Chain A
Amino acid sequence: MRKSTTSQPKVRKAGRRSPMASVALIMIGLFATGGVYALFTASASANTTAATSQLTTEGSKLFAANCATCHGLNLQGTKQGPSLIGVGAASVDFQVSTGRMPLAASGPQAEEKPAQFTTQQIQALYTYVAAQAPGPGIPSKQYLGGNGNAAKGAELFRINCAMCHNVAGAGGALTEGKFAPQLTGVSAKHIYEAMATGPQNMPVFNDQNITPTQKADIITYLKYLDKNPSPGGIDLGNLGPVSEGLFLWIFGLGAIVGVTIWLTAKAN
């Protein structure tokens, strides 16, 4: 490892950093797991190209073992899966860290499940895929804090997202067994990545369509919804007339029938 590190040409900071420091940073980057994303991006940005090359190697092995059956050894895609050339790190991170990939079974759409890889392995995978062709990258942390304009975010959400995901983010049905998933409790990073990459049947909302600032506003709105659920009381799943109507038919009419029976029954 040391040899490959020192043999790599340093792009910058070469004069200020000893080879030992690079190795130490690589070790931190490789082993500091624990799922803390903030820590992760910090170490990733601090890593040198050597770390990237290390990740790429690891990622290529992981890819060959877990993804290549469907997506092809060179990301070119097969009949079973689409090409991954140019999908970018954001797409891989979203699909793998929400557990949608690797696919458990073919069906109308890949569903969320516990992630099959560690954070470090996911980083290796997306670094590898992103190294093959450019694409949307991992979102910058400045857009994920939920400190945008919730009112503007709500307007953008109603225009661009609410038709599928429901105005309260409760999700909704699509055609032929597909559905738009619920957005409550989804992490800001995954919301951003989904907008930028358009996973599965979701359309792509690129930075010209919804700018990063606007994406941050939408995230702020969704985080606001998470913190302030349903001021009107029990939301019944936020599914509108379906669940509310069912509730009224069963409990409202049930109460009326019960009272009517009691009113007309003879006392004994």
Chain B
Amino acid sequence: MAQHDDGVTAPDDDAVHTGARTGTAIQVAAERDESPGIGVVQTDKVINPGFPPHNPRQTDLVPAKDKRAERQVAILFFLSIIGSIFALAAYIAFPINPGDFGSIRTNNLLLGLGITLGLLGIGLGAVHWAKQLMREDESVELRHGTRGTEATREKAVEVFTLGNEESGIGRRTLIRNSLIGALVLTPVPAIALFRDLAPIADPVYLLQHTMWKTGTRLTHDPTGVPIKASDVTLGSAFHVIPEGLLQRSDALEQKAKAAVLLMRLKPEDLHVSAGKESWNYDGIVAYSQICTHVGCPVALYEQQTHHLLCPCHQSQFDITQEAKVIFGPARRPLPQLPITVDSNGYLVARSDFHEPVGPDFWEREL
């Protein structure tokens, strides 16, 4: 039977041993006599029921079971050894061949299985060992105050006082103040560096304008080939980037704002509001691909229903009604790019978008 000799001592003055076999550490805290506070009725206090009677484990009672548990723990540790060796062997035997994705899968799978077995074997073995074989008894560890002893506290004060005396930091105010000044100024370069991570130009201007200008040709994504109005047959959907985008160094940033979906509907299907009559060309309409909800690319166009679906949050826009929101969390219709054709028959923008593309931002007026 386990003996209580591991240093967990029961305070003798407020704990008594009841209901437990002699020699165990099972203890029940005694009820306090003093009032724990005003208004608390003493008789309402929950009585500490103490520990339930100790049930010895099978491994404590049957030596054969003890032996078996010992073997199980050892087997788990051996499995860990096998796993680690397996991982090493698999790493050598199944190398990653450049260009062969299948080899990466085999390599990663076998390596992962080996390392998993190596770690889990140790972990499971240790837990099994602790649960089945290590000494098992219930005990209470009382919580202690965190205040140090008077001697410790005095010693700490003494160390600081001595440090002050020896360095003279309290006395030599010139050194102290110049040190404080130096420390305050050290983060200043970091502030300047991080500040310049932001765009130099006015972010509000950048959010309100895209690359599209009067006369910019509509071109194919990703080839940059200009699109003729005659290319866009009924029911077509073209993914469009502005001409000259591919030559720009900030092509991706510009594309994120300027991407456009070009569709052709029957002109009689379009319900064009006043002032926007010239924005489409013979049923060809161009809308921003950037969702007005949180900016996902909206391009799931259905050519019969003329619905445009955003895959992120299921906002639906009706192209026949100038991309009006007919379902979902988007609040505003997709901005329309006014288009026309130039003298060579190529589709060109009449102007930039008349409102900022994409989701809301603080300074947005529309």
Contacts and interface: CB of A to CB of B under 8 A. Distances in A.
B40 to A, nearest CB: 33
B302 A175 contact: yes
B102 A203 contact: no
Contact of A231 (B104, B131, B235, B236): B104
A233 B232 CA distance: 41
A198 B234 CA distance: 10
Interface string A215-228: 00000000000001
Interface in B323-356: 327
Interface in A150-209: 155-156, 159-160, 163-164, 172, 174-176, 178, 180, 198, 200-206, 208-209
A263 interface: yes
A172 B236 contact: no
A164 B239 CA distance: 14
B58 interface: yes
Contact of A267 (B136, B236, B237): B136
Contacts of A163: 297, 299-300, 311
Nearest to A265: B131
Contacts of B131: 266-267
Nearest to A228: B101
Given A178-B302, A263-B127, A267-B57, A203 B237 contact: yes
A268 interface: yes
B57 to A, nearest CB: 5
Between A159, A203, A228, A231, the greatest number of chain B beta carbons within 10 A of the residue's beta carbon is seen for A203
A114 interface: no
A201 B222 contact: no
B238 A204 contact: no
B57 A203 contact: no
B269 interface: no
B105 interface: yes
Contacts of B327: 175
B263 interface: yes
A200 B136 CA distance: 71
Nearest to A82: B304
A227 to B, nearest CB: 11
Contacts of A263: 127
B231 A204 contact: no
Contact of B236 (A164, A176, A201, A203): A203
Contact of B57 (A204, A231, A262, A268): A268
Contact of A204 (B58, B127, B136, B233): B233
A268 B56 CA distance: 8
A232 interface: yes
Given A198-B235, A204-B233, A209-B236, A164 B300 contact: yes
B42 to A, nearest CB: 34
Interface residues of A, number: 31
A156 B309 contact: no
B251 interface: no
B311 A172 contact: yes
B17 interface: no
A209 B105 contact: no
Interface in A240-268: 262-263, 266-268
Contacts of B304: 200-201
A143 B238 CA distance: 21
Interface in B215-247: 220-222, 227-228, 230-239
Contacts of B231: 206, 208-209
B321 interface: no
Nearest to B237: A203
Contacts of B237: 203-205
Contacts of A232: 105
Given A198-B235, A204-B234, A267-B132, A233 B299 contact: no
Given A159-B221, A198-B303, A267-B59, A203 B105 contact: no
B55 interface: yes
Given A175-B307, A267-B57, A267-B59, A231 B101 contact: yes
B224 to A, nearest CB: 12
Contacts of B301: 203
A249 B238 CA distance: 39
Ranked nearest first, the 4 interchain pairs of A and B with the lowest CB-CB distance are: A231-B101, A208-B231, A203-B237, A201-B302
Interface of B: 55, 57-59, 101-102, 104-105, 108-109, 127, 131-132, 136, 220-222, 227-228, 230-239, 263, 297, 299-305, 307, 309, 311, 316, 327
Given A175-B309, A204-B235, A228-B101, 15 more contacts: A159-B222, A163-B297, A172-B300, A172-B311, A175-B316, A175-B327, A178-B302, A203-B263, A204-B233, A204-B234, A208-B228, A209-B231, A228-B102, A231-B105, A267-B136
